[in-house]
A and B are shown apart, each in its own frame.
Chain A
């Protein structure tokens, strides 16, 4: 059987594309990094891929807002190709900046009637960029990427990651529908690890089919045990990291 192909879509300022491609390959997939400009010229490039991933970074410098221009570019030049990709059963993963892009394009959590975004990722409550490790509770529901995962430890690295809803009353229905499968959890001392002030501790969201997932933490940064900040003397240095499961699930689902 052929290994599933993952298209790692990059834009000017994308900077997690190499390690994300590496994570898919470690999980048994074939990864290809493609510039959004090249895809806009030949949208058919996406047709022989089963997984689309928008990795982390600062697309277009995030100078106006994170992910805004990348999303605009996708909406203006690739809207049809993206919908076609999703409708034929492809998996879509947005990590960090990619999550921001998915919300802004309306591929995730858009208002079903108007198509406009109902959720956004605002500046962290601290007002600062933060790189730290968080604990996550997972309730996979329909989410393909999180199958069989009930908790995770992963790093976050962002300045704009505070999940907000246009109407806070949407939180419970979305949760009930299984569309908020990842939440920040407490550490061993019982302290919340929510790094940004997200409503409902939301760290990730998926669409009703479970085939489109966006998340702020970086699963591609915990593929090997040696990426954990306390691995020395505590973890098997040859072991894998918990983040690998997301890529392995995607590859397995499309194999």
Chain B
């Protein structure tokens, strides 16, 4: 029997989802959709009587106070009668095979009510006014559902059963490589979504020729997953012959000789005082924290999946990076998340959105909701982040998710032992996310949505939460030798990496499945979420299994790490595939690439508009990069776990923080500081300065929150366009060089990183012309700092009238890529250059002044320059400030000195608030660094900016706050 239960709110006015449908329809120009109603629907299949299903609806599915329900067999007329006079009924259901968290939860609850073995599928139901069929279709496709993961049914449902799939019976598909020419090999790679180059396929072909046979599908897939850009960073680890502004350079391994090399040199220089523990080795970078804990951090991208399904893509992006931390060493406890999104402007006209692309406003709402629902459910505070806007992100939005973890000292190293069981724990395996690793290594196109929907995963946070509870308890009892997460490439990558030297025998028919019908290959490469692989001593297996039962997690031994040096895959005892570990991990032919980058010469600066400082400030504060992100921040639980100390919004006026600070653990005072830097607007102009500026910004953020400048760990996330092109690869090389140079000067080692290449979107426009758009070269720099005592953390909100304001660092008139340029008030000019040594000196001086207890507030100067920084400090403190531009050091010779001083974005500057009685001591700490007193804090909530000629421009803080919050000024 297949029942449907529809649950709706008794009070129509409380139907928020309906209001969103009406507003969204208006946005799509469907003005006849003036009213709507919604319901949560449930399809329940199993042996249930009418009495049973009524009881289930009343006790489990509907709220007795606020909701009412309708129960009937699927297809019955009463399920599609008009509600409130709205006759059009639209159903939205998860597609077969797509994870349905609510359905799974309901299934579990039914067991609790004494009805095991039911199949439940959730759905959303909408009642709309009579509309043209085309409008219903458009509304459903653009607003109510995402057809990459959902089915839309208008009118009655006609499903008869939810049961699907039959057991797969063993077959092997041999793939003939011997004798194929390059064209045929290329076609094979494309048709099978392998993302292997012809050279790589030559290596595979030759390997199997030597073995005297052709590979079978599962073997070729395993190689493709392992050799994917996503899994082994083949571009960044290539040999490169580079031509750049600093001349010619040759790298045998780009990443090793830039980013890694910087870390190695810093660690060598630190000698005994080296505080790195495990870098670029494990799933996250690990550094020393206090006497008994290490901390680790990782930032990942999940760009391609988020482009196609923003909600699921962002949620599983976060879920994946949380598992990276959980899967570090012998398991770390996730204690903070961060998220950064790069998207096209929300006001992009619908006509400018290429076919197959989700409008950036809907996309941003979707990724925010994904991070919110996953992070909040995990109980991990999302405490840091940023959103950056550029039209170049229209087809390839960037979604960065990061996690910080804490672990007992001495648990960073893990080693699989021969004879250990291969244990998979967590969610079951389904067809979701097949080919995610190889898909992310291919450029998107307007048809990706339909072609690669299978690569999109849907998160089930609660599965990951119980998995986390299980892993942390098992870790506490030391019941496993090693652990890693099932991410890109699924079991093939996880088991392959853990067994990289030992090898493993895996019985794929024992992998727990969501539904029958998966082939051995699908079970092996599926990227179904919320799974971890553990190496468990058989002697500990029973204890581990008991914890799994207690925490409600499924854990299954699916094989053994053998020591044979071979991966042997079996299905019901028969060999399904066999691979040599050495070939799998070392057999990939290295690439030798050419790159070139010569920045365009700077143009002359041209000033536009009336030159008003106050009007410029209001414009700049309201620009999307600068404006308040409160609507996002408040949707994230940034206080769960009780350790948040400097929060993303702070002060009486709830202004923006620089770095955010959390305690490492409850009841302890040592803290972790997080900051991010992103200078995407410089990416196309000067990739070296883009990267350098981002790193300085991330570091300045954590220093402004009180971090020790000698204990800052860095992370890199490179997101680039098509690096198969010489000029594009050239910009990547320049950014790598910047990472190396800045890390060395700041003695801040990179501890982890990730890249996402080929972010190019191709489509055919209405005139039939082939078009493509590439993202700007984008490096996200993340800084993780530490504070000895969180009770001495620092914040940017101005504290008290009468205090003085100082600016530290030189303010130069390089306006290219500035927010003022975006506001249309300046164009051209040079890119702001990083003087790394000067920035380092400024950071150390500010930190020294802070250590001496001299700073009441501190804010780093970034987007929007000095004026925006002071405005933000006043907004947060709900007090006023007076700033005299003539006093700002920098020696500007600009034609518009006021705007240049107020809005220039020279990296590595700080605004400090100092009590008058601390003035003299403050000055002693700043010796040798360019700085000056530029004004003070005032009681009247007004920001006064004194122009170089002595005129005063006044703006009320309330007005600045409204501009920053994008409310009507």
Contacts and interface: CB of A to CB of B under 8 A. Distances in A.
Contacts of A122: 9, 14, 63, 66
Contacts of A120: 63-66
Interface in A157-215: 157, 164-166
A227 B640 contact: no
Of A12, A38, A126, chain B has the most CB atoms within 10 Å of the CB of: A12
A131 B109 contact: no
B816 interface: no
B372 A60 contact: no
B642 A60 contact: no
A237 B791 contact: yes
A227 B104 CA distance: 37
A19 B794 CA distance: 24
A146 B65 CA distance: 27
A84 interface: no
B635 A128 contact: yes
Contact of B105 (A23, A26, A63, A123): A63
Interface in A194-250: 218, 220-221, 223, 226-227, 229-230, 232-234, 237-238
A26 B102 CA distance: 37
Contacts of A22: 642, 666-667
Interface in B444-486: 460-462, 465-466, 469
A16 B105 contact: no
Contacts of B63: 65, 68, 120, 122
A232 B791 CA distance: 8
Nearest to A62: B377
B162 interface: no
A155 B639 contact: yes
Contacts of A234: 799
B920 interface: no
Contacts of B141: none
Interface stretch (B205-213, B243-251, B315-323, B650-658): B650-658
Nearest to B645: A226
A61 interface: yes
A68 B637 contact: no
B550 A233 contact: no
Interface string A138-170: 000000000000000001010000001110000
B607 interface: no
Interface in A18-70: 18-19, 22-23, 26, 35, 37-38, 56-58, 60-65, 68-69
B20 A132 contact: no
Interface residues of A, number: 60
B740 interface: no
A41 B101 CA distance: 27
Nearest to B14: A122
B466 A131 contact: no
Contacts of B791: 226, 237-238
A232 B797 contact: yes
A68 B642 contact: no
Interface stretch (A1-9, A86-94, A111-119): A111-119
Given A15-B377, A63-B101, 12 more contacts: A15-B641, A58-B462, A63-B122, A128-B634, A131-B633, A157-B637, A226-B790, A233-B797, A233-B800, A233-B857, A234-B799, A238-B791
13 contacts: A15-B465, A15-B641, A16-B640, A58-B377, A58-B461, A61-B462, A69-B112, A127-B17, A132-B634, A220-B642, A227-B645, A232-B857, A238-B791
Interface of B: 9, 14, 16-17, 19-20, 59-61, 63-66, 101-102, 104-106, 108-109, 112-113, 122, 372, 376-379, 460-462, 465-466, 469, 550-552, 633-647, 649-652, 654, 666-667, 790-795, 797, 799-800, 856-857
Which 8 residue pairs are nearest across A and B when measured between Cβ atoms?
A: A15-B379, A19-B642, A127-B16, A61-B462, A237-B791, A120-B65, A63-B105, A63-B102
